[in-house]
Chains A and B, each alone.
Chain A
């Protein structure tokens, strides 16, 4: 939670933090409702797209993205634990699917600012 807040904060980064050598692994988990599950939020957004004159919209689905920063390199056990957490806490396998991506240590970037 804190790391996410730090990433998106716009406070100036101090020189000490800039030169920090701690390697960071970033794990990104995307969670989407299964295709067969009704997504009333996506449907409401689709309605808004029509009102904004975007033509030809076939479907809109709304999902969630979790960005988890971890200290150091990820070992196999940690990756297995992350998959378990993605399946049983971050998503509900009854209604949702997840996709987990790992960005190599040291290449973490501020994904929230695009």
Chain B
């Protein structure tokens, strides 16, 4: 049976269409989810896409983290459902407490838009098992508040427990601590990253098709879950 992957739209989400396209190209069924509902529509996995929900008012992702659907997503994530947050979606996951740390203003104060090389640091998560540790992928990066920070104890724990999933290669674009581009929760089902794998799914519009690897990964992890 085709896996159902939910793509959530908040007011001000921009990249839900691209995320949905990536899901479809990856061979899964796209299910559109609305932030104001309390209905996950029987999805098997969830993507929180990028954008500027609520215009980044208050703090990026802060208001969306309290959206009605987020209560369902937190419950589902705590139950093991794969959840991926991209850019603003990553910010929402941090604000909701599903992932540790926070994303703050880029050190340079500039909005950055470039193709970025990332190193896969943990190929054991629900969203990266199609890769090998040490693989390099290249995907677009575009953010103004992408500087990952956490207190030193949290940072040490993230490193020790292999929860750093993606690391910037060659250049640290925003001043993120330890060059961190993306992390996971302890269980590895919730992953967030600032760069945009959903924009790297077709050579017509992206630098590579590396982003499809995340969709292949989650499909493989869902198959493994249903067998287990």
Contact = CB atoms under 8 A, between A and B. Distances in A.
Say which size band chain A's interface belongs to.
10 to 19
A89 B65 CA distance: 9
A94 B154 CA distance: 10
A70 interface: no
Given A38-B175, A94-B102, A44 B109 contact: yes
A44 B63 CA distance: 27
Given A92-B59, A92-B62, A38 B95 contact: no
B186 interface: no
A37 B59 CA distance: 15
B223 to A, nearest CB: 35
Q: 4 shortest A-B CB distances, which residue pairs?
A: A94-B102, A95-B102, A40-B109, A40-B105
Nearest to A66: B58
Given A92-B59, A92-B95, A95-B149, A41 B105 contact: yes
Contact of B108 (A40, A92, A94): A40
Nearest to B106: A40
Say which size band chain B's interface belongs to.
20 to 34
Given A38-B147, A92-B102, A94-B94, 13 more contacts: A37-B104, A37-B149, A38-B104, A38-B107, A40-B105, A40-B107, A89-B66, A90-B58, A94-B101, A94-B149, A94-B150, A95-B102, A95-B104
Contacts, number: 34
Interface in A25-48: 37-38, 40-41, 44
Interface in B70-104: 94-95, 100-102, 104
A12 to B, nearest CB: 30
A9 to B, nearest CB: 20
A87 to B, nearest CB: 12
29 contacts: A37-B149, A38-B147, A38-B175, A40-B105, A40-B106, A40-B107, A40-B108, A40-B109, A41-B109, A44-B109, A89-B58, A89-B62, A89-B63, A89-B66, A90-B58, A92-B59, A92-B62, A92-B95, A92-B102, A94-B94, A94-B100, A94-B101, A94-B102, A94-B149, A94-B150, A94-B151, A95-B102, A95-B104, A95-B149
